[in-house]
Structures are given as C-alpha cells and as structure tokens.
Chain A
Amino acid sequence: MTTTAAPAATAGEAVATGQDALRAAFDAAVAEDTRIEPRDWMPDAYRATLVRQMAQHAHSEIIGMQPEANWITRAPSLRRKAILMAKVQDEAGHGLYLYSATETLGVGRDELLDKLHAGRQRYSSIFNYPTLTWADVGAIGWLVDGAAITNQVPLCRCSYGPYARAMVRICKEESFHQRQGYELLLALSRGTAAQHAMAQDAVNRWWWPSLMMFGPPDDESAHSAQSMAWKIKRHSNDELRQRFVDICVPQAEVLGLTLPDPDLRWNESRGAHDYGEIDWSEFQEVLRGNGPCNEERINRRRAAHDNGAWVREAATAYAAKHGEAQA
C-alpha cells in the first residue's frame, strides 16, 4: 500500500513543532474521541489502514451490486422490481460516498478502481456467492445487509470523521433495505409451499457466509488490536458476530424459517446463543479468489470499466473543448 505524505500545510508545521508533538496531539484526539479530520496530522499506518478498509468497503458496495442486479430483470412483481432497482442504485451511491471519503486521505478514485481491477484490493467475501433464486435477494437483504449494519453502526463513531459521517448516511439507507429484504422473505415463507422452500434454501446457503462477514476469529485477526486502539473499530469480530447471531435467531422464528446450524442453542449462563464452528477453510479459499463467483465478479467489473473507456475518453475530450467540469 502506498501512503501519501501529509498535506503540505501540516508537513511544514511538522518541521516547526516536531513529530512527537504531532503524534501526542493525535493520540490525545483519539483518546478524547475527537474526530480526526483530513487536514490533521495522522500516523502513516493509520492513514494506510483507513485507506485499506475504506477502499475495501467502497469496492464491496460496487461488486455487491452484481449479485442483486442479477435479479432486476426477473423480479416477479413490479413492486419488487422497483424496490430492487432502488437498492442497487443506493449501492452505487454508497460506493461513491465511500470513494469520496477515501479520497480525503490522498488517494484518487481511479487508483482505487485500478487496484480493485488488478486484484490488489479486496471486497467483502460475501459477494463471491451466487444468487441462484429470487429468495436470495431476500436472504441478502436480511442476512447480508443485517451483518453489514451490525458491522457498520459502530463505524458511525469511528475516529476518522469523513468515514464516520459516510457511515451515518449509509446505515440509514441500509437498514431500510434490510427491512425490505426481511419482508420479501416473509412473503415467501408465508406463500406457497414452493415459495417457502425457496426461502428456506436461500437462508441455508447464505447463513454461514453471512457469519464470515465479521472476519476471522479475534485471535487470528491481523488488524484488530491496532484498529481498536485507534478507535477505527469499536468491537471485536467475535463480539459483533455474537450480537448478529443473537439478533437473527428470534427473527428467523418470526419468519418461520430455520437456521442451518444443529449446534445453535441458547446458553443461559452466557446469556447468548452458542453456535457451531465456522468453516474457516472455506473463508480462506474465498479470500484467496477461489469462491464460486470471484472470477465472474471481477471480470464483470473489469468489462464494465473497459467497455466504458471510450465513453470516459469522450467526456474528457468534450470537457477539454468546452471547458465543462469533467464528468
């Protein structure tokens, strides 16, 4: 990861006051829960960590359009089609917020997209799973968006201001989509036998990948300790995963659907649900690029970018001729 030098103004200051004073001011700001802003001094590693996490977050919104867009043309009612279109449109918008927020750290959107296309920056492993039936759209709304919200609500208090503010906007829209996904599944679950079976099958396929969205277990999470010290993260992976499981169990009951885990049960002494072992080898395979759709997703993204090159060139040429603000 390339890191960008601090903005010129603060770099000048650095010479005057010394690196130690700047670091002390940064540490104090984090300790006091004051937001770090783009022009503030920050450690290179803090900047690099944020670029990595925010870019991955932006990329996930963009790649995440694909599994759902897969069903736009086939949605079974006009109301559902409209809801799904609005959702996919919001995801593109979330990608745009997050790229803008990442740009405040001194990297350009084009550079980030190039890294995505070259496979040098990641996106959420969940989007490497296929949407095989209409019910998958509901399962993504309920489970995938639900897991994302559980992860993202604490990010609204993240120490980096632009990221925290982007998350406030995104979480509002996400929770709306999550309710719509739940309602879609509810309609299927209470519909015909075939619809109910479709809903159950989707939940069976999306449950475990959704739990993997919280990342590796705490004792194997490379970035966690530092991110928590910097207040980028507020809770550990396992804490958030547990919170998500505890939220989902009663929701599944209301849906009239089961969760595909024979070890899932309430543990009175912990006041939480015990759940079965996650297949971390599958998780690692997907991260390594060997999930069911990794290749398709990235190829599709590259194709959209490459096929659109002449359009972007036209916009640039037109802007140069006519002094228009560039598209």
Chain B
Amino acid sequence: MTAQPQSTPAPPPSGTTSGTAPGSVSVAAPRPVRAAAPAALALGDDALVLAQRLGEWAGNAPVLEEDVALTNIALDLLGQARTLLSLVGDEDELAFGREEHEFRNVQLVERPNGDFAETIARQLFFSVHQELLFTALAAGDSALAPLAAKAVKEVAYHRDHAERWTLRLGDGTEESHRRMQDAVDGLWRYTGELFEPLDGLDVDLAGLRAPWLERVTAVLGRATLEVPQGADRTPWAAGAGRQGVHTEAFGRMLAEMQHLHRAHPGASW
C-alpha cells in the first residue's frame, strides 16, 4: 500500500484527469486518509453539489436576510467540500474533471431548488443527517474526525435555520403550509439513500436512520406537517447517487458548473 503514489484517488474516477495538477504537492498521504477516501469523496460531493444549488439562490431570496443566510450556508458547505475533496486528490480536478457517473453525492442534494419550501425541506433533511453523521465522526479517530469536529458547528446552524423555516412555513399561512407539505412529500423518496453504507466511513449510517427519523418527525410535527407515509428511497436505482446514478437535472447542473474550467484545459485561475 505505501508504495502506491498519492495522486491515485481511491475510488476510481476513470475520467479524472491523470497526473498531478500544477502547484499541488505530491506527498504520501497517511494511511487513514486513503482508507477514508471513498467516504471523503462521497461526503465531499454531497457538500459541493448542495453548495452549487444554494449558490443559485444568491440575489433571488425572499428577503435580504435569506440572501445572506443561504449564501452563508453554501459557503460553509463549499468549505467542507474543499477539505474533503483535498483529502482525495486535487479539489479542482475532482470538481471540474469528473462526469456525472463519477460523482458520488446522494440524489437529494442535486434536486433543483424549486420554491423556497423545497429548498428548506432539502436542507432540513440533509442538515439533520449531516449533524448526526459529523457528531459521530468527530467522536471517532478516522482521518475525517478533524473535519467533522469543525463542520458540526456549521451544520448545527444550518439545521437550526432549516428547522425554523420549516416551522414558519408549515405553521404560517394556508399557502405556505401546502407548499411545505408538498416539498416534504416530494423529497421524501430521496432521504433513504442517506443511510446507505459508505466505504471508508467508521460510522454505521444505517444506525443513524432512527435518530434522523425521530428528529425530523419532531420538527414536522411542531410545524403541523405530516410525515410522509411513502417509501423513503427510490425503488428503481439501487444505491443511486452513491454509485454514480443521478437524476436528469444533475447533468445540466454539472455542465454549467464545469464549462469554463473545461474550456481552458491546463489553465490556472
């Protein structure tokens, strides 16, 4: 193992540009990082893709305070993505050089922003999950523990923000209640994937399902919303996002994100 060069990312992104990016230093990574690399890639992709979605809100939010808040959350997630992807390889090669099927994010985070309720429902589901996961990771001694310890503070803020808006929208007006319930129902089938096992992660993701459901149920209840009764994952794609199977909207999102970088191969920015 130790003889293997560092620049080989652990999961195989076959389309990833080979070689080391200009400026990146080739240092032998400690073993724990390599072991955790598949998980770092998946969690980094989650954060990157959601940051990209939230970045679309800049200048479009319902109130200025939300322009600040949503961009702030996006920025936190982008910071997490950069740290996680850098554990695996060159952050820009990974972000801009891979194709859809090489991304390991859950489908939940790639769902389009929709209206404000859809954005909030997505954020609630994801943030509660992230908070549980990072709390558990921070308590362990894997290579991801330091990242998790820092990020858990940010994620608690994201969760709190999503929770408060879930309450305001769910228990606000008739229209906001309807929209919030629709958003929760529509995204529900993307939540089961959050608990699929992830290589290289020393946290039992399946074990987070019960506390996640308990927390989400509590928030939805206080918001006078129903917990959806349908399946919490899509039956038609085993593993889905974690195995590189994505939704239609994702390809377009990546095309936008990557086009400039790809138009200037080898350029530095």
Query: CB within 8 Å of B: which residues of A?
Result: 62, 65-66, 69, 72-82, 85-86, 88-89, 92-93, 95-96, 99, 134, 184, 187-188, 191-192, 194-195, 300, 303-305, 307-319, 321-322, 327
Which residues 44-90 of B sit at the A interface, judged by CB distance below 8 A? 48, 52, 55-56, 58-68, 71-72, 74-75, 78-79, 81-82, 85
Q: Are the CB atoms of A134 and B260 closer together than 8 Å?
A: yes
Nearest B residue (CB) for A319: B168
Is B214 positioned at the interface, with any CB of A under 8 Å from its CB? no
Q: Are A310 and B72 in contact (CB under 8 A)?
A: no
Chain B residue with the shortest CB-CB distance to A65: B59
Could you jot down 30 A-B contacts, CB within 8 Å?
A62-B64, A65-B67, A69-B55, A69-B58, A73-B256, A74-B257, A74-B260, A78-B78, A79-B269, A81-B55, A82-B75, A82-B79, A85-B78, A88-B58, A88-B59, A92-B64, A92-B68, A93-B68, A96-B65, A134-B260, A187-B269, A192-B266, A300-B60, A304-B59, A304-B62, A308-B116, A310-B176, A310-B179, A313-B172, A318-B171
- Decide yes or no: A77 and B269 within 8 Å by CB, A194-B264, A317-B172 being known contacts: yes
Contact with A along B230-269 (1 / 0, CB 8 A): 0000000000000000000000000011011100101111
Total A-B contacts with CB atoms under 8 angstroms apart: 146
**B75 → A minimal CB distance (Å):** 5
Within the complex, what minimum Cβ distance (angstroms) separates B258 from chain A? Answer: 9
Please tell me if the beta carbons of B75 and A313 are within 8 angstroms of each other in the complex: no
Contact A95-B64, Cβ < 8 Å, known A73-B52, A78-B82 = yes
Cβ 8 A contact of B63, one of A134, A308, A322: A308
CB nearest neighbor in B for A187: B269
The answer for the CA separation of A62 and B95 in the assembled complex, in Å, is 30
Complex-state Cα separation, A154 to B109, whole angstroms: 45
* Best-surrounded residue of A187, A307, A310 (most CB of chain B within 10 A): A310
Of the candidates A62, A85, A319, which one forms a contact with B55 in the assembled complex, judged by CB atoms under 8 Å apart?
Answer: A85
| B contact residues around A312 at 8 Å (CB) | 62-63
Interface centre among A309, A315, A327 (most CB of B within 10 A): A315
Which residues of chain B (83-117) have a CB below 8 Å from chain A?
Answer: 85, 91-92, 95-96, 115-116
Give min CB distance, B176 to chain A, whole Å. Answer: 3
Contacts of B169 in A (CB 8 A): 311, 314
> Complex formed: what's the CA distance from A12 to B112 in Å?
57
Contact A304 B168 (CB under 8 A): no
The 7 closest A-B pairs by CB, nearest first: A308-B62, A314-B172, A314-B176, A311-B62, A69-B58, A89-B71, A92-B67
Are A77 and B92 interface neighbours, CB within 8 A?
Answer: yes
* In the complex, chain B residues whose CB is within 8 Å of the CB of A318: 167-168, 171-172
Q: In the complex where A92-B64, A311-B62 touch, is A74 in contact with B256 (Cβ < 8 A)?
A: yes
Which of B55, B56, B74, B85 counts the most chain A CB atoms within 10 A?
B55
For the complex, is B175 an interface residue (Cβ under 8 Å from A)?
yes
Q: Which residues of B contact A72 (CB under 8 A)?
A: 55-56, 58
A314 nearest CB across to chain B (Å): 3
**CB of B235, distance to nearest CB on chain A (Å):** 32
> CB-CB < 8 A to A75: which residues of B?
260
User: In the bound complex, how far is the Cα of B78 from the Cα of A69, in angstroms?
Assistant: 16
Hey, which chain B residues are within 8 Å of A313, CB to CB? Answer: 172-173, 175-176
| Minimum CB–CB distance for A174 against chain B, Å | 17
A79 CA to B86 CA, complexed, in Å: 12
A85→B51 CA distance, assembly (Å)? 10
Give the shortest distance, in Å, between B183 (CB) and chain A (any CB): 12
- The interface bits of chain B over 171-186 (1 if a CB of A lies within 8 angstroms of the residue's CB, else 0) are 1110110010000000
Known: A73-B56, A74-B260, A82-B82. A308 touches B61 (CB 8 A): yes
- The docked-state distance in angstroms from the alpha carbon of A76 to that of B269 is 7
Given contacts A78-B82, A92-B68, 4 further A-B pairs with CB under 8 A are A78-B85, A80-B269, A96-B65, A311-B169
> Would A69 and B59 be within 8 Å (CB), given that A78-B81, A82-B82, A191-B268 are in contact?
yes
Closest to B178 in A: A310
For residue B144, give the distance in angstroms from its CB to the closest CB of chain A.
18
- Which of chain A's residues have a CB closer than 8 A to the CB of B56? 72-73
Could you tell me the distance in whole angstroms from the C-beta of A304 to the nearest C-beta in chain B? 5
